[in-house]
Chains A and B, each alone.
Chain A
């Protein structure tokens, strides 16, 4: 198991390098550059070249990449060109907000998703099952941008229960958490339901029934426990997704966070900021996947056995 974990972690190194190359190249191939955003009306024509040189943007791309990677490996994320401050500061300010929002949204979709999945499984093929599964499917297909505005209209403007936007009070978290969380609920509910139905048909469950255990006790103590293994894996995978999924939601709710930072920096071609934020999101996905695999190995003796 330990050897497996170490091997998996080592495998992240080449993936990390590949991701960093892709991010760097895609960004630099987008037409435009940050200097356009720094030149004001009246700036003398030669100032452009001076500024390109100052930020090292006049060097060949491989050199720029090597410099960036070299600094990155020593923990230096560089200085934002347009935002004019250390990238680490910008990310340091944004990340806690994104983690809080993403974490709460993940918790919401887990609790609600698992609950709905269990209820649906217990009522398999009955009206309640169909209503729940239909409902969550509908919820998950709504674009988060639109859902966010809809929730603002109903609960902030109409009912006045929550603030429209911002991050000044805890209550301002409710609507963005719902917006992101509702999208994730469908997947969790579906997997919980399928997995429970699947486990319930296994021989050992039949044996438990034969032994005379109460059906409720069988479902919760035995079936759900087994059924949760794939759910946990999916949840770990979603850690990265949640951070990335918050991008548009943060903008709609005018909240600070990686998404707001990324969108602004992208429109200004502020390379160091975009590179660092994208790398952050990619890392979250990679680590989430790793965590999911390790958790699955830890929980499922069959996987564990196959590895050793």
Chain B
């Protein structure tokens, strides 16, 4: 090799090496990188029919029939309007015209019939089981004949598991649907997906059917969106700080202070869908006595916890449901709030008298109970405060922590007395999930199995003809459960989104319960 050729080769190698090294952090116009929330990391597929965990990308690849505003009210999307029969036994949906899937297939009433058929053999069959038959009325009108009234239908149609998939490719691709290829009608198409790493989405240029909750009526403003999966919170924060990514969906409370200290970063706060609570096992002494349960529940100082543990960010919880839900508006007498005097009086009544060291006793036995939680630091911190508050009324609790992946199995033993945990859900049917008598241990950590509750539960779950009735029935079920003190509500966190304000412009008003398609449609990259 002559020295000239050698030099040329070296120069070429140098340039390509330099290109490789420079490839990071210099996104072109309208390209953005988001980090998905840690609880969505590792979601294995974009197949809404078979999945048990979907990440935010699902809301961008697919559309749904119904959209939901921040106040949880329902609005059109792929369905322009709908009518419900007075007896709740049928629904007619009028579909938007001119909608097509990423692979060119048209979206129409036939699509709906084939799509819902796909649920039948899947693990998610229960989500559509109330629909007995789908009738195609005309090209853009579809009628659902119900096996029973299901006022929750609109909620189901707004859920990401009922994202409308393209039935032909779904059947052709089999298990690869949602992994190697995926076709929806959404504002973004999937370009590539590496599970646990990243998903690259590109704008659907034909998109003109966004939910009316979004301002933008045309295609999304962001042309290319990369969703990265970073399991370690510190790493995600440092990526945002260094400009490697533009937005974090879900910032742990621990990092909020650091995010706020950076001049180029901004925090967007959305109402959360979590409730932290203390289940009380109604089958374990001394909590078989409702007075002791009420005493323990009313020993929890929600306001103090909000201030001291969460720095005032979020809301106190006085019922089992997030406050955005109408079913959380119970008669104030059923709300569970801090009342140490009542707590102490109840314990006295129940025969638990204050002993020498401040711990109550009955028949020579101290009021000593176990308090379980998971080992994550945020839970430990909260549980220590709960422990101190129980101590203040004379209940001595001993904290035991379990790994978050193992604690469910521990609950199944039924040996817990008190626990501190949280859930994330935005529908009143969560009461059925956590207090249903056929799910004792886990999810029913309280081991609550009460005949009257079961009656009210049945009416609430399947006996309502319309939404107003469902709200009434669930409120009644909720009130009864609260009156039995199988748990103490503690805290409702907010969802915090952090973003780089030098890079992104977010819509002034957020018309969505969480950051998804509606919000991202109106986002823009600063140029």
Contacts and interface: CB of A to CB of B under 8 A. Distances in A.
Interface of A: 30-33, 36-45, 47, 51, 80, 82-85, 90, 93, 149, 152-153, 156-157, 160, 163-172, 251-254, 256, 260-261, 263-264, 266-269
12 contacts: A31-B410, A38-B123, A42-B127, A84-B175, A157-B238, A157-B241, A163-B24, A165-B230, A165-B238, A167-B197, A251-B232, A252-B232
Given A31-B410, A254-B235, A82 B44 contact: yes
A85 B25 contact: no
A30 B403 CA distance: 10
B196 A41 contact: no
Interface stretch (B87-95, B331-339, B425-433): B425-433
A103 to B, nearest CB: 18
A261 B198 CA distance: 14
A85 B177 CA distance: 12
B234 interface: yes
B23 A169 contact: yes
A156 B242 contact: yes
B322 to A, nearest CB: 14
B144 to A, nearest CB: 19
A42 to B, nearest CB: 6
Given A164-B238, A168-B24, A169-B20, A47 B244 contact: no
B242 A83 contact: no
Contacts of A84: 44-45, 50, 175
B259 to A, nearest CB: 14
Given A32-B405, A256-B194, A164 B239 contact: yes
Interface string B252-276: 0000000000000000000000000
A153 B17 CA distance: 24
Contact of A269 (B45, B402, B405): B405
A110 to B, nearest CB: 23
Contact of B42 (A31, A157, A268): A268
Contacts of B53: 37
Contacts, number: 131
Contacts of B197: 166-167, 254, 256
Given A164-B235, A264-B42, A268-B42, A169 B126 contact: no
Nearest to A148: B235
B523 to A, nearest CB: 22
B231 interface: yes
Contact of B24 (A31, A47, A169): A169
A166 B244 CA distance: 10
Contacts of A82: 44, 52
Nearest to A48: B439
B502 to A, nearest CB: 15
Given A84-B175, A170-B20, A32 B409 contact: yes
Contacts of B232: 251-252, 254
Contact of B231 (A51, A157, A171, A260): A260
A83 B44 contact: yes
Contact of B408 (A32, A45, A85): A32
B401 interface: no
A43 B432 CA distance: 11
A31 B179 contact: no
Contacts of B196: 256, 260-261, 264
Contacts of B429: 41-42
Interface in B165-219: 175, 179, 194-198
Nearest to B243: A160
Contact of B433 (A41, A168, A169, A251): A41
Majority secondary structure of chain A interface residues (helix, strand, loop or mixed): loop
Interface residues of B, number: 54
Contacts of A36: 408-409, 442
A42 B21 contact: no
Contacts of A260: 196, 231
Contact of A83 (B21, B24, B195): B195
Contacts of B283: none
Nearest to B47: A84
A264 B429 CA distance: 29
Interface in B425-474: 425, 429-430, 432-433, 436, 438-439, 442
A169 B235 contact: no
Nearest to A263: B231
A99 B17 CA distance: 21
B522 interface: no
Contact of B123 (A32, A41, A45, A51): A51
B438 A45 contact: yes
B229 interface: yes
Given A38-B52, A164-B242, A30 B406 contact: yes
A32 B406 contact: yes
A83 B109 CA distance: 33
A44 B436 CA distance: 11
A85 B41 contact: no
B175 A85 contact: yes
A254 B229 contact: yes
Q: Which of B241, B242, B404 counts the most chain A CB atoms within 10 A?
A: B242
A188 to B, nearest CB: 28
B50 A42 contact: no
B238 A85 contact: no
Nearest to B244: A164
A286 to B, nearest CB: 27
Given A32-B406, A41-B433, A268-B42, 4 more contacts: A43-B123, A168-B24, A252-B232, A254-B232
A41 B425 contact: yes
A169 B410 contact: no
B130 to A, nearest CB: 12
B30 interface: no
Which of A47, A169, A251 has the most chain B CB within a 10 Å cutoff?
Answer: A169
Contacts of A44: 126
A165 B244 contact: yes
Given A153-B238, A252-B232, A264-B196, A169 B21 contact: yes
Contacts of A160: 242
B235 A264 contact: no
Contact of B238 (A93, A152, A268): A152
B484 interface: no
Given A32-B409, A33-B409, A42 B433 contact: yes
B343 to A, nearest CB: 32
B143 interface: no
A153 B123 CA distance: 45
A157 B242 contact: yes
Nearest to A145: B232
